[in-house]
Amino acid sequence: MAMNNSGLLKGIRVLDLTRVMSGPFCTSMLADLGAEIIKIEMPGFGDEARHFGPYQEDESTYFMMLNRRKKSVTVNMKEQQGRDIVKALVPQCDVIVENFRPGVMQRLGLGEDAVRALNPTIIYASISGFGQDSPLKNWPAFDLVIQAMGGLMSLTGPKGGPATAVGESMADVCSGMFGAFGIVSALFDRERSGKGHSVDVAMLDSIMAMQLTGLSRQLYAGDTPKPVGNRHPVTYPVDSFATQDGDIVMVCFSQGAFRALCRVMEQPDLADDARFKTNDNRNANEDALRAIITNWAATQTQDALVETLQSAGIPAGPVWTLQDLTQSDHVAERGLVTEGAHQKFGKVPLVPQPVKFNGTAHVGEAFVPTLGEHTDEVLGELLDLDHAEIGALRANKVI
C-alpha cells in the first residue's frame, strides 16, 4: 500500500512501542501530521487494543480509531533476536515512544541510556500512570484509577451523589495529547540545539493539569469542590434543562445574559426580583430559579429553545448523543469523520486529530493496518533484510 507522508511532520520517523490507548492516541496525532509511525506489535496477538470491542466482524473498531496511519510490524520482544531488531531500528528513527511501567524498558535492554547510545539525538518519550520518578511509579494504572486519584471523579456526578467517572477515557486522551505536545516541542528544540530529549508524561499529572477551575478554588481558597451536576460551581443559571423532546444547556455568565433570559421567558421582572438580582442571590435561591426555568423549558422544543436563546445572545446548545453529533451539519462541514483504507473492509470511518493547518487537519489517505501488515516492508527497507532472512525470523517466531 502506498503511504502518503506529506505534512508538517514529514520526514519524522517514530518507533512506537505503545499499546492500548494513551500511547497510541499520542502517536496517532503525530501520524495525522505526516510522521511515519512504525508500530511494534506481538506476533499473533498484537496490541491489546485489537482485542477490545466493539468489533466489525473480528476486527476491533476501537483499535482502528487509535491506530490509523501506522505501519504494523510484528516483533517478539521477549526474544533476544526480537529485541535486536528493535535496537537496529533505533538509529533509523527520530522518536521512540513507550507506555510501559517504569523499569520495563530497562529490563528489555531498551532504556533511555541504551537507546541514546545507539542514537544520541533521539527523542525518548515515556507515558505512564505516575511518571518515571514518582513514589507510585510501580503501580499499574488505567484510566479509571487515574480519574479517581486525579480528583476528576470527585467533581463529577449529581449534586450530593457519589463520585462518578466521566464517559470517556479522559486520562488516556489528555496524557496522549500532552505526550504529542512534548514530542513536537522536543523535535523543535532539536532543530535549534541538535540535542535529543527525554519526555516524561504521567497520566495523573495530565489529568491534574486539566482541572484549573477546581484547583484554583482548592489551592487559593482551600475550598474542596464537590459534584454539582451539570450546573457551574459558582455561577447560575449555567445548567441543563429538559424540553419537550430533549435536553439543552444554557450559560448565563453575566447579568446581561440573565436579563436577556428573563425577557425571552417573558418574565422581565425576575431580573429585579430580590431573590435573583445578583449572582450571589441566584446561587442562594437556586432551587426557586431552577423551578421557574424548568417549567418554562418544558413548554418548548429543543431546537426552538436553543434558537431562541442563541438569538438573544445567550450561549446555549442541545444535549446531543454521539449519533446526533456524527450526523450533524457541523461534523460534515468540518470533515471530522474521514475514511481510511483497510485490507479487509475496504474503507472504515475514522476521526483524525482536529487541528487544521491551512484548512486541513490531516494529510493524505489514511489507512488502518492489519496485524503485521508492514513487517516485510519495514524490515526489508530499513534493515536491508532479504526474503530468506525475514522468512527465517518468521519460522523462529521472532516476527
One domain for residues 256 and 363 = no
Among 284, 318, 352, where does a domain finish?
A: 318
Report the run of H or E that residue 42 belongs to, with start and end: none
pLDDT in tens, 296-347: 999 999 999 999 999 999 999 999 999 999 999 999 999 999 999 999 999 9
Closest CA to 326 of 306, 302, 349, 348: 349
Average pLDDT (2-8) is 58
Instruction: Specify the range with the lowest mean pLDDT, choosing from 26-35, 273-282, 352-361.
Output: 352-361
Residue 232 known to be catalytic: yes
Which residue range forms the structural domain that includes residue 275? 238-242+247-318
Closest CA to 96 of 34, 179, 171, 170: 179
We report the CATH number of the domain holding residue 277 as: 3.30.1540.10
Q: For the chain, give the mean pLDDT.
A: 96
Within 13 Å of residue 112, how many CA atoms lie on the same side as its CB?
Answer: 15
Asked if 206 and 214 count as a contact pair (C-beta separation under 8 A), the reply is no
Q: Answer whether residue 25 is part of any domain.
A: yes
Alpha helices in the chain (DSSP H): 22-32, 61-66, 80-89, 104-107, 112-118, 143-149, 152-155, 170-193, 203-209, 212-221, 255-264, 279-284, 286-297, 302-311, 322-326, 329-334, 375-383, 387-395
One domain for residues 362 and 257 = no
Strand order through the sheet with 238-242: 238-242, 247-251, 316-318
- How far is Cα 168 from Cα 150, in angstroms, rounded to an integer? 15
We report the CATH number of the domain holding residue 98 as: 3.40.50.10540
Q: Answer whether residue 269 is part of any domain.
A: yes
pLDDT band at 6 (very low <50, low <70, confident <90, very high): low
pLDDT band at 1 (very low <50, low <70, confident <90, very high): very low
Catalytic residue, chosen from 51, 197, 232, 342, is 232
Average pLDDT (214-242) is 95
pLDDT in tens, 171-206: 999 999 999 999 999 999 999 999 999 999 999 999
Q: What percent of the chain has pLDDT over 70?
A: 98
**What distance lies between CA 140 and its chain's CA centroid?**
20
Q: What percent of the chain has pLDDT over 90?
A: 95
Q: Is the pLDDT of residue 5 over 60?
A: no
pLDDT band at 358 (very low <50, low <70, confident <90, very high): confident
Q: Which residues contact 69 (CB under 8 A, 6 or more apart)?
A: 28, 31, 32, 37, 340, 366, 367
One domain for residues 263 and 380 = no
One domain for residues 32 and 123 = yes
Q: Answer whether residue 233 is part of any domain.
A: no
One domain for residues 297 and 177 = no
Q: CA-CA-CA-CA torsion for 60, 322, 355, 48, nearest 10 degrees?
A: -20
User: Quick one: pLDDT at residue 53?
Assistant: 92
DSSP result, 66-114:
HSTTEEEEE--TTSHHHHHHHHHHGGG-SEEEE-SPTTHHHHTT-SHHH
Rg from Cα positions in the chain: 25
Helices 170-193 and 22-32: angle between axes, nearest 10 degrees = 50
**What distance lies between CA 218 and its chain's CA centroid?**
26
Average pLDDT (260-276) is 97
User: Quick one: pLDDT at residue 294?
Assistant: 98
Quick one: 13 exposed, middle or buried, by C-beta within 10 A (0-12, 13-18, 19+)? Answer: middle
Asked if 344 and 370 count as a contact pair (C-beta separation under 8 A), the reply is yes
Phi/psi at 382 (5° precision): -90, -30
pLDDT band at 363 (very low <50, low <70, confident <90, very high): confident
- How far is Cα 114 from Cα 49, in angstroms, rounded to an integer? 28
Asked if 141 and 92 count as a contact pair (C-beta separation under 8 A), the reply is no
- How far is Cα 33 from Cα 220, in angstroms, rounded to an integer? 39
Strand order through the sheet with 338-342: 346-350, 338-342, 366-368
The total number of structural domains that make up the chain: 2
User: Quick one: pLDDT at residue 232?
Assistant: 92
pLDDT in tens, 15-42: 999 999 999 999 999 999 999 999 999 9
For the chain, helix, strand, coil in percent to 5 are 40, 15, 40
Q: Answer whether residue 121 is part of any domain.
A: yes
One domain for residues 307 and 337 = no
One domain for residues 103 and 176 = yes
